[in-house]
Structure 1
Amino acid sequence: MWEAIVWGTCLRIAQASLQAAPFIFTGLCIMGLLHRLMGQQHTRWLFGSNSVASLLQAWVIGLLLPGCSLGAIPIVKQLRRSGIAAGTILAFALSSPLFDPLSILYGLTLSKPFTIVAFALCSLVVVTISGSLFDRMFPAIEPELSEPPATPHGIKRLLAILVVMARESVSGTAGLIAIGLAGVGLLSVLLPPGSLQRTMAHDNPWSPLVMTAIAIPAYATPMTAMGQLGSMFQHGNSIGAAFILLVFGAGLNLGLLTWIVLNYGIKKSLVWMGLMLAIVLGLSYGIERPLYPNELEAADHTHAFDTYCQPFLSSASPPAGGYPSEIWRRVRLETQPHEAAGAVILFLMVTLGEFLACLDRYWVIETWLNRPTEPTANPARRTWDVTIPGPILAGIGLATIIAFSIVGCYAYYPTPHETLDELSLAKTEALGAALTGHREHALHWIPVCESWNRRLQVGAYLRHWHLSDYHRMKARVFRDRLEVLEHMIENRDSDEEIRRQISLTSRAFLRLATAYREELSQ
């Protein structure tokens, strides 16, 4: 029993770590740009401070920059060092992980994209009211820190950004991120496999409260949270619980809450958390009926929250080959290329940070970086050596990050032709495994099919800015067929019934592929 729980916790933490890696690296990049190029004065100008307008600025900047609640930790630390008001910092910390270009595009292809727009506006209401009240109750609590020594223009200034990123990766930020990931492990210990499948019903008044208890220690990237929201909408779950999942599940984690307590004290932290709970719960109950899609028939259960539960059944036999090999198999199959690249870069960043910490005993690299550069006597070099102010370089860097996230949308959501090819391969794996009785293999590939089905719709929407009801219907039928097949495999239905469902699922895919290819040929 305990062996399954321990190894299951390791799997959940490993999955969350890989999902967070690209966003943590992005957060370190933004922190480095603000620290070494923007400076405290220009950071205060960018974010504003101690006004309602600054809360709106922080909310807009948070929506534009890609990130997650773990990647926001190094940024909020830098904002506090820059003397930004607490309400503005907390507004950014909460809004930055909620949406990014990838998740917004995903949300716009849902059957009711207005709901996503309403959620975004509600998040603005949350950060504005909570931030304004908090700053009014506790004014002027920002520290006044001196500016770090300026680094000369040129390559040294760029190296200084890398150095501060590396040092931050092995500072207290790493401990806070570990605490945030520990929340994922805590949930997997407390929640048995599949225990949330029949929760969050629309007609259950306790759904928002139950989701609050789960979402606060949970960790979800914007894309993960948006996918879970989509599943909740499609299954007729509670809209209020979906809003809480977005705000607290994607917006907060235990590491970020720990940072808030360490910097603002228990009293102020409890006041802020109390304001957040009152406003978010009030909004969640207020939007439940107006935004609920009454045309949908509520499903009796959903797999949207299985990622928060223990992945292994304690009563079942250990996987073939043992738990470590099963964890490696799942991680290898589920990890996206950008997640693997982010993990490698973070490993190199931590290695550099540890090397610099050891090097400090003999030579501090900042001493060399901050040493003024000797003027050159070469006229040609002076002609081409253009001095660009740090804030302008920082602005270019932030704009580049936003541009890369937009370009990344086209990579993550390929053309319908490419997506159909990938979906066909995943469908073959899932249906073939179901036909031959390989349950675990089929249960792995069915969610992969569902993911590519969603990416097919978003990719088409991204290139045409329109998705017809006809194409939505074909995708919905294929998704429903997959879901029924998944339930039949889990319930160990008869082979004849499973074969019949496999046939229906295959036909649904052929109709889906034909619908999209007919549109592409026109």
Structure 2
Amino acid sequence: MNWIISILSVALSAAPWLLLGLLLAGLIKAYMPESMIQRWIGGRGVGSISRAAIIGMPLPICSCGAIPTALALYRGGAGRGPSTAFLIGTPGVGIDSILLTSILLGPLMAVARVAGAIFTAITTGLLVATTDRSEQANKEVSVDTRSTETACASRCCGSKTETSHSVAPIQELPIQEISHKTRLKQGLKYAFADILDDISRWVVVGLLLAGLLITLLPPDVLSGLSGAFWPLVLMAIVGIPLYICATAATPIAAGLLLAGMSPGMALVFLLAGPITSLATLGIFRREFGSRALVMYLIGILCSSVLLGWLLNVGLQTFGINPTIQANQALELLPEWLEWLALFVLSLLMLQPLRKRLLGY
């Protein structure tokens, strides 16, 4: 019974902010063309890497969803550094997960998560960028060779086939030709159908795990492991290969924090878990090479562990307890609004009913 109460408490607190986050995600999708993003983060310098990390942060794209966009940016002319920063910053946090973190873990943890995701994206992007220069010449020679071969084959066949290396740039929606109503409808469909279908099962799993952790895990077990440095490393190693979206990771981290885990370990989980996955690692190695993959892993591992350690030290120094902030934030909205939001969210998660009501 206590387990059900814990799950319901977390779900009620999360539902309104998840709905608001999905709404904002739909607006971003509707009014921010992807080709604009490509122009902003083109290049290979520190500025491009920083812009890629910051621009990718609020976008409503999960780890696997960020892969094709990042590859399109890279093949469209962006360097490895900015492409990597975008690949990390985009799934690390989103507008929906930021709101959930602020409510379930407190404003301080939300700020730490956003700053940590940006720092990890920039640091890892800079490390991966060091492999860009050494292999750029070989890449250009390879492209020229393949272009010549393909062009020859095209002339022999009498066709206009393009080179095998060329990749179509990100398609920009002709916004000036589409009404605001149509754009808004497409954005909301993307948020409450595509995104919600992708994250719904993981959100449910996250809520179930959070309730279990709060109910069954003795606080002294985790608190005894949370004061050392090596548990932070272990948490990062466990989190890197996982496939879990930033939104679904939030209630799990809240359960761990309320069960006695240190804020630093919770932050490491929030950073390492959503940022990458085994699928991302495989595609990253295929596209950028083994050396770049090593730099990618070093950047994520060292950055997340360092940030978790600094957070623990800072909180201990100033005597701040984010668990108290999280408990206070849970009582921010009236209960009737939380129940209404949870009811609406549950209806939207049921695909057949949503298609009958909304048409998508």
Q: Give the corresponding residue for 2:265.
A: 241
| CA RMSD of superposed structures (Å) | 5.8
CA distances 1:138-189 after superposition (whole Å, capped 9, x unpaired): 789995346356366353x641452365267555x55542463365268469
The verdict on how the C-alpha distance between 1:86 and 1:33 changes in structure 2, with shifts beyond 3 A counting, is farther
Shift of the 142–20 alpha-carbon distance from structure 1 to 2, 3 Å rule, reads farther
Specify the alignment match of 1:277 in structure 2. 301
Report the AA paired with residue 162 of structure 1. Answer: K
Letter in 2 for 1:208: L
Partner of 2:203: 181
Report the AA paired with residue 72 of structure 1: I
Task: In structure 2, give the amino acid aligned to 1:241.
Answer: M
Matches within 5 A, 1:183-198: 183-184=205-206, 187=209, 193-195=215-217, 197-198=219-220
Q: How much does 1:257 deviate?
A: 3.6
The alpha-carbon deviation at position 90 of structure 1 amounts to: 1.9
1:109-508 matched pairs, under 5 angstroms: 121-137=115-131, 143-145=167-169, 147=171, 150=174, 153=177, 155=179, 158-163=181-186, 165-166=188-189, 170-171=193-194, 173=195, 176-178=198-200, 180-181=202-203, 183-184=205-206, 187=209, 193-195=215-217, 197-198=219-220, 199-201=222-224, 203-209=227-233, 211-212=235-236, 213=238, 217=244, 238=262, 240-248=264-272, 252=274, 257=277, 260=280, 264=284, 271=294, 272-273=296-297, 275-285=299-309, 288-289=312-313, 291-294=314-317, 296=319, 335=338, 351=355, 355=359
Q: Secondary structure at the match of 1:335?
A: helix
Q: Number of aligned pairs?
A: 301
Distance 1:350 1:304, change over 3 A: same
2-structure distance, mates of 1:103, 1:22: 13
- Say whether the 8 Å CA contact 2:250–2:270 is kept in structure 1: no
Structure 2 letter corresponding to 1:194: L
Give 3-state SS (helix, strand or coil) of 2:215's partner: coil
Q: How far apart are 1:96 and its partner, in Å?
A: 3.8
> What letter matches 2:171 in structure 1?
E
- Rounded to whole Å, the distance in 2 between the matches of 1:231 and 1:193 is 10
Structure 1 unaligned spans of 5+: 307-331, 357-522
Question: Could you say which residue in structure 2 is the equivalent of 1:318?
Answer: none
Counterpart AA for 1:278: C
The residue number in structure 1 matching 2:73 is 83
Q: 1:137 to 1:174 in 2, by over 3 A?
A: farther
Higher relative contact order (CA 8 A, sep 6+): 2
Tell me the distance in 1 between the aligned counterparts of 2:208 and 2:301: 21
Q: Which amino acid aligns with 1:51?
A: G
**SS class of match (1:72):** coil
Distance 1:225 1:10 in 2: 11
Counterparts of 1:4 and 1:101, CA distance in 2:
23
Bigger helix share: 2
Contact 2:100–2:247 (CA under 8 A) maintained in structure 1: no
Match of 1:369 in 2: none
Letter aligned with residue 83 of structure 1: L
Specify whether residues 127 and 116 from structure 1 end up closer, same or farther in structure 2 by C-alpha distance, changes over 3 A only: same
The reply to whether residue 103 of structure 1 matches residue 102 of structure 2 is yes
Check 1:188–1:4 CA distance in 2 against 1; reply closer, same or farther (3 A cut). Answer: same
CA deviation vs aligned residue, 1:250-305 (integer Å, no higher than 9, x gap)? xx28xx7477368646887975455312321244335644x14347599xxx8999
Q: Distance in 1 between matches of 2:29 and 2:100?
A: 20
Q: What residue number does 2:61 align with?
A: 72
Query: Which has more radius of gyration?
Result: 1
Between the aligned partners of 1:190 and 1:270, the Cα distance in structure 2 is: 35
SS of alignment partner, residue 147 of structure 1 = coil
Q: Using a 3 Å threshold, how does the CA distance of structure 1 residues 49 and 15 change in structure 2: closer, same or farther?
A: farther
Contact 1:103-1:222 at 8 Å conserved across structures: no
Cα drift, residue 339 of structure 1: 5.7
User: Residue 520 of structure 1 aligns with which residue?
Assistant: none
Report if aligned partners of 1:183, 1:218 keep a CA contact under 8 Å in 2: no
Q: Is the Cα–Cα contact under 8 Å of residues 238 and 288 in structure 1 kept in the other structure?
A: yes
After TM superposition, the score normalised by the length of structure 2 is 0.55
CA distance in 1, matches of 2:98, 2:270: 9
> Identity of counterpart residues, as a percentage?
12
Q: CA deviation at 1:197?
A: 1.8
User: CA offset at residue 126 of structure 1?
Assistant: 1.6
Native 8 Å contact 1:211 1:245 kept in 2: yes
Aligned match of 1:53? 47
Per-residue deviation, 1:23: 2.0
Deviation at 1:355, TM superposition (A): 4.0
- Give the unaligned 5+ runs of structure 2: 75-82, 140-164, 328-334
SS of the equivalent of 1:26 reads helix
Contact conserved, 2:263 with 2:311, CA < 8 A, in 1? Answer: yes
Equivalent residues of 2:14, 2:100 under 8 A apart: no
